[in-house]
Structure formats: structure tokens, C-alpha cells
Structure 1
Amino acid sequence: MGRIMISVKNMGFGLMVAALALPLVATPAMAQGRDPAYAAARAAGQVGEMPTGFLGIVGSPTPDLKRMVDDINIRRKAVYAERAPGQHATLEQYAFTIGCQLIAQTLPGEKYQSPEGQWLIRGNGAATRDARCPA
């Protein structure tokens, strides 16, 4: 299993994370990727990755979409809470680092949230990420 070393500068809410070793295959998005409803919502631009490491709803949600996104985010938060202490990071720091990775992994045509909070559509180039994200 490959690992990537990541550094995150002070994010304004705590200690600096010097280096996080995160398994590339164990991202919180892994389980959602197999869910047809999630895949359909992502392809339709109804949901997108946020810098916070959580999934966001683009536009007005239906009750089913809100329920799905809430469920995914609850599962992501549980994973972050479990893994953050082992990386000597707060939940927020760990989630931010994962958010950087998830935004970088978006595919052309998928939506993601810019550091300024605007929903963008990924083009063929690199996604616009927070300056604190590792390269």
C-alpha cells in the first residue's frame, strides 16, 4: 500500500501538522464511490468536495440528497476522528488534509468548492485548492 507524506501549515485553529502519512487507498470517499446514488449525484453536479474534507450540496437539496450527504459526512467524520490522533492532528487538521486530497482527485466535470467558498467545475487542469494544501 503506497503512502504519501503531507505537510500542512498552521490553519489558524491549532497546532501545525508536521507530516501526515495517509494511505492512498483508504480515503473516506472510497465507500461512497460504490454507491450508485452518490455516483449519480456527483455526475449530475448536485454534490462536490469541500476543503473541509466533507461533501457539500450544490444548490437546493432534496430530502433524499440531504440524507445521503449527511450519512456520508457522518461516516467521514468518524474515520477522521479515529485516524487524527494517530497522526498527532486535530480532527479539523486531518479533515482539511483529506479535503485537499479529495479535491485534487476530482475528475473533469465534477464540482468542488474553492478556498473562497465558490462551487467550481473541474476542468482538465489542476483543481484550485487552498494555498495551505500540500503540493
Structure 2
Amino acid sequence: MKNSVEMMIAALLLGATATSAVAFQSGRDPAYQNARASGLVGEKSDGYLGFVVSPSPAIRALVEDINIKRKAAYSKEALANGATVEEMALRSGCRLIGERTVAGEKYQTPSGQWKTRDASTPELDPRCPQ
């Protein structure tokens, strides 16, 4: 019973965190949308955006700004839920890769390799909630 309660709490935390992080993606900046669609940036398993290729200064600034906002959201969720920022970021990364990336977008595997999302299930960090 304890395990099922823990699973339910983890699912609720994951949903709340991903919702907060994804809020930053709604109304995406066209430059960010283009960089993501072009495979210049992608989702990392740690909940942050990463550079697939060396970015221009404008793309670097854009991604760093998004990552700062994500960290603020993860920090707020961690404080509210008695978790660490890293735990909240990882949970969000699992959801962002598993549910929010679409075919053609890049994501980073747990081994650090960049892959292009296709119709198959992406490789997620083994610590991701099932």
C-alpha cells in the first residue's frame, strides 16, 4: 500500500511540475520554435533544454532564458512538495521527452546521445516514474 501511495504522489508531482514547465513553452518564441524544429536544441533528461549543435549567440541567450525560467518553476514546485530541485527537474524532463516532444524534435538519451524523436517510445532515464 505504501508503494502505491508513493506512486500516486510521484504522479501528482510529475503532473504539476510538467504543467509549470510546459507553461513556458506555450506561446513559444518563433526563434525558439524554429531552433527546436530545426534540431538545433532539444530536451535533456534533466528537465532543461540543451544545444544539439553549437548555438548562435541569440539561440544561446534564448535557451538560457528558458532554462532559468524552468529552474524557477522547478524550485517553486520543489519547495511546495518537499522535494529537491533536481528531482522536480528530472520528473519534468521525463514528461517533456516522453509526452511533449514530437516526431522530428531532438531529445537527449540517458547516455547523453542526441536522438531525433520518431513514432517509437523515446529512451527515458531509468529513474522516470513508470
TM-score of the two chains, using structure 2 as the length reference:
0.84
- After the TM superposition, which segments of 4 or more aligned residues of structure 1 sit over 2 Å from their partners? 22-27, 29-33
* 1:41 and 2:32 aligned: no
User: What code does the residue aligned with 2:16 have?
Assistant: P
SS of residue matched to 1:130 = coil
In the TM superposition, what is the alpha-carbon distance from 1:45 to its structure 2 partner?
0.3
Question: Quick one: percent identity of the two aligned structures?
Answer: 44
Question: Higher relative contact order by CA 8 Å / sep ≥ 6: 1 or 2?
Answer: 2
How much is the aligned-residue C-alpha RMSD, in angstroms?
2.0
* Cα distance, 1:91–1:20 mapped onto 2, change above 3 Å: farther
Q: How many residues align?
A: 121
Mark the runs of 5 or more structure 1 residues left unpaired by the alignment. Answer: 8-17
- Name the structure where helix makes up a greater proportion of residues: 2
Kindly indicate whether the alpha-carbon contact (under 8 Å) linking 2:17 and 2:74 is maintained by their aligned counterparts in 1.
no
Following the alignment from structure 1 to structure 2, what is the Cα–Cα distance between the partners of residues 6 and 36? 39
Mark the runs of 5 or more structure 2 residues left unpaired by the alignment. Answer: none
Residue 67 of structure 1 is matched in structure 2 by 61
Following the alignment from structure 1 to structure 2, what is the Cα–Cα distance between the partners of residues 92 and 31? 18
Match of 2:85 among 87, 91, 96: 91
Following the alignment from structure 2 to structure 1, what is the Cα–Cα distance between the partners of residues 6 and 45? 15
Residue 32 of structure 1 is matched in structure 2 by 25
